[in-house]
Structure 1
């Protein structure tokens, strides 16, 4: 409530912290309340993509702008840009909707002066977009900017290039107008104690993800990526007798020509994901590259007569076409690396991923060495080292295909 109250007297408002801390709901309420009487006509909401802006601000778990202004807002376009028209006591407002995560997105918001700007997941947007949004509000009669964000590494550009300057200005001048709030899931009053305990139990409390998602701390990604993987808890010797009958089968593929090509044979009964077998062709070790047709032949042999969906590395366009030409049902994988790693880690902690230790030795070996890139971490970036990552990538492709409720089933 203190943060919310300060939103009406501060020009820059930043809400940072862990997952489900209520940041979006809080800032959306402040943005909407201030929009009711703001003298400017044109305003901006944005995210890493327009879809993110719509989800986090317009919808916002049912507490977004569409709910706040229900009956007095309509979707439309302004200057060929998507927007929301809102009727207020002081006239109609135009709220433009933009993405800011791609190079060149800053051009989308040029040409207008915005009274207010709300950017969700601000540290996922490009530096150029953030700078342009600051510039575009300079002449507003009641300049107000809102940012919400989940923590990144301490050296991330957003902290150095944006927050540090305003933090120092606020220290020098208590009336500067910088309002910062830190939030965790424990601040979300819609979550009861029992539900909170269940949510916390899905995390390894020594992990990067617990520090970030739950404690809301800025942490660099370093060391082993899957340090929560335990051979004594995440592997098995003998598959269940009814493995095939009770499970949905999927084959996940990380495609490679000079790099290894990996297939994982995955059985999922809705509770436990079992990686039963693996295929691996390493052209460097075998001293011969295979063609797409040869890999497709290998897929036919690997799959056998029990046909199933194949999830394939989205960059392997020619291999996907080859498989489709043979009648296979192929789904290009969702390649969100960081979210995929986070979700795979949570499933390892809950022991919901089990790997056949006798049939999947390469996958187990790579999980034991798959690491964060330290040089990237020093730059405030998060990237895995691009080696020994082929089987973990295939596993991540499968996890990325799961619905959210499978990842957060205990919450």
Structure 2
């Protein structure tokens, strides 16, 4: 028995209705309860699955399958006795659930489609379907060829031109498709405490609020920093507060393009300040700087004062220098010159989401000693051509300062996140959810 698991009516309805369709897709906000519903539907589907054909769990990697699906399935606090029916050894590509062997398949790129060739499946659970290649998804559905075969999938919303939205969710009313989609918002999860809901809402803004809180499939459009206001977010350098510490320097290396560096400090007011910048761009009348010259230019700048309280002669730099991993030769040169570097974390969408959340919350500000970065911010926009192709990406023009800032903020997140908690900030209000928690009893 699975006793007293709090579920919303929407979750229960999705579990029951999914039995009637070949393909069921749970999409919506983060932490909205869609994964719990899909796992319960998967447990149910295993007990009803045809005797022949393979059972699959697919995700971007084996590690994400373990983290997002198998570990929750083994949590007795959530699934009670059913958790003991899920057996898996970390790193293995199989699991045993209710006595059935379940094959775990990662699909990180287009070559993953080959992993499905030749197999016959009766049931598949797909984690974060929008992150998988379209060729893999198409091949997976083709392999679900046993009579009564089913596919259960979860995803957060993405670009509205994404193949999953256009080719499947938008066509669920077509009887030939045999597809059903279930949409969830953050307020549809009855197990979340109100303070957590308030916290997670405060961490998103703009595009990411619409997708990850309201669960909408919306396109990236217009300015990325649409919440940026120079009157609120730019402070005179000589009025900078004291810093708890300097979290690091981010460097976007260029040869034909500019090389840009920013230095970020963590203020005593628990605001991150972009304190200073350095940029070199060769003019048409001079030769491009070599990595030796760019290294010297960066080191000379680092030795200068970056805060009004710094000594006039500056001081040696001993902190983080975060550099794009693609600039391997430059990193080698910096190391030879005595400057240790850290390879930048380069998840673009996560970095943009983090930066915009900080700016919207007033937890990231800039000084007037960053004129080049301040010029870039208003023109940092989403690429409409990528949007038309179902992808989200910024326009790669005049973004060197924004890239260097993204590198240092995301790569050092563990260092500043302890004090700068976005969940302490004001929260956007939403209507009370219509779905009230319901207690149900599931029989195994």
**Separation of aligned partners in 1, 2:126 and 2:373:** 40
Q: Is 186-195 or 284-293 further displaced after alignment?
A: 284-293
Alignment of 1:325 with 2:329, yes or no, is no
Work out whether 1:352 is the aligned partner of 2:363: yes
Aligned to 2:242: 242
Aligned ranges 1:75-90 → 2 under 5 Å: 75=89, 82-86=92-96, 88=98
Q: Distance in 2 between matches of 1:372 and 1:338?
A: 11
Contact 2:204 2:212 in 1 (8 A): no
Deviation at 1:297, TM superposition (A): 1.3
Deviations 1:152-186 (A, max 9, x none): 2222222223334443227xxxxx75321100110
1:157 aligns with 2:148: no
Distance 2:389 2:178 in 1: 29
Call closer, same or farther: CA 1:375–1:65 in 2, change over 3 Å.
farther
Corresponding residue of 1:183:
184
Corresponding residue of 2:399 = 389
Which structure 1 segments of 5+ residues have no match? 171-175
Q: Distance in 2 between matches of 1:351 and 1:338?
A: 20
| Residue aligning to 2:46 | 35
What secondary structure sits across from 1:259 in the alignment?
Answer: coil
Could you tell me which residue of structure 2 aligns to residue 225 of structure 1?
A: 224
1:260-286 residue CA offsets vs partner (Å, 9 max, x unmatched): 111111112583211111010122566
Alpha-carbon offset, residue 201 of structure 1:
3.9
Match of 2:140? 133
**Conserved 8 A contact 2:73-2:83:** no
Q: Does the C-alpha gap of structure 1 residues 202 and 73 become closer, same or farther in structure 2, counting only changes over 3 Å?
A: closer
Q: Show the counterpart of 2:261.
A: 263
Deviations 1:110-132 (A, max 9, x none): 23222211111111211101001
Residue 391 of structure 1: CA displacement?
A: 0.6
Please give the residue correspondences for 1:173-212 in structure 2 after superposition, counting only pairs within 5 Å. Answer: 177-204=178-205, 207-212=206-211
> 2:101 aligns to what?
94
> In 2, Cα distance between the equivalents of 1:53 and 1:43?
14
CA distance in 2, matches of 1:126, 1:66: 34
Determine if the alignment matches structure 1 residue 169 to structure 2 residue 181.
Answer: no
Distance 1:241 1:166 in 2: 56
- Name 2:390's counterpart in structure 1: 380
**How has the CA–CA distance of structure 1 residues 127 and 203 changed in structure 2, closer, same or farther, with 3 Å as cutoff?**
closer
Change (3 A) 1:114 1:407: farther
What per-residue deviation string (whole Å, max 9, x for no partner) do you get for residues 349-378 of structure 1?
A: 111111112x10111110011111112222
Counterpart position of 2:3: none
Say which structure, 1 or 2, has more relative contact order (CA 8 Å, 6+ apart): 2
Task: Please show how residues 16-31 of structure 1 align to structure 2 within 5 Å.
Answer: 16-31=27-42
Q: Give the distance between the partners of 1:4 and 1:93, measured in 2 at CA.
A: 20
Report the alpha carbon displacement of residue 71 of structure 1 after superposing the two structures with TM. 6.5
Cα 1:61–1:313 shift into 2, 3 Å? farther
Q: CA deviation at 1:408?
A: 4.9
After TM superposition, the structure 1 stretch with the greater mean CA deviation from structure 2, 62-71 or 248-257, is 62-71
Structure 2 distance, partners of 1:96, 1:399, is: 38
2:117 maps to: 110
The answer to whether the 8 Å contact 2:199/2:423 transfers is: no
CA contact (8 A) 2:199 2:422 kept: no
Task: Name the CA distance, whole Å, in 2 between partners of 1:370 and 1:4.
Answer: 42
CA contact (8 A) 1:346 1:407 kept: no
Corresponding position of 2:67: 55
Deviations, residues 7-65 of structure 1 (Å, cap 9, x unaligned): 23332110111222122222122212322453246322122333322221122497589
Q: What residue in structure 2 maps to residue 122 of structure 1?
A: 129
Q: Return the offset for 1:67.
A: 9.0
Number of the residue aligned with 1:364? 374
User: What is the deviation of 1:147?
Assistant: 1.2
Q: Is the 8 A contact 1:58 1:65 kept in 2?
A: no
Taking the aligned partners of 1:334 and 1:66, their CA distance within structure 2 comes to 38
Tell me what 1:399 maps to. 409
Query: Structure 1: how far apart are the matches of 2:93 and 2:216?
Result: 34
Q: Secondary structure at the match of 1:298?
A: helix
Secondary structure, counterpart of 1:98 in structure 2: strand
Does the 8 Å CA contact 2:74/2:83 hold for their aligned counterparts? no
Would you say 1:145 and 2:143 are equivalent positions? no
In the superposition, relative to structure 1, how do residues 273 and 131 fare at CA in structure 2: closer, same or farther (>3 Å)?
Answer: same
Superposition deviation, residue 346 in structure 1: 0.6
- Cα distance change on mapping 1:76 and 1:302 into 2, 3 Å: closer
Taking the aligned partners of 1:5 and 1:65, their CA distance within structure 2 comes to: 17
**Mean Cα displacement is larger for which, 68-77 or 28-37?**
68-77
Distance apart, 1:145 and its partner CA: 0.5
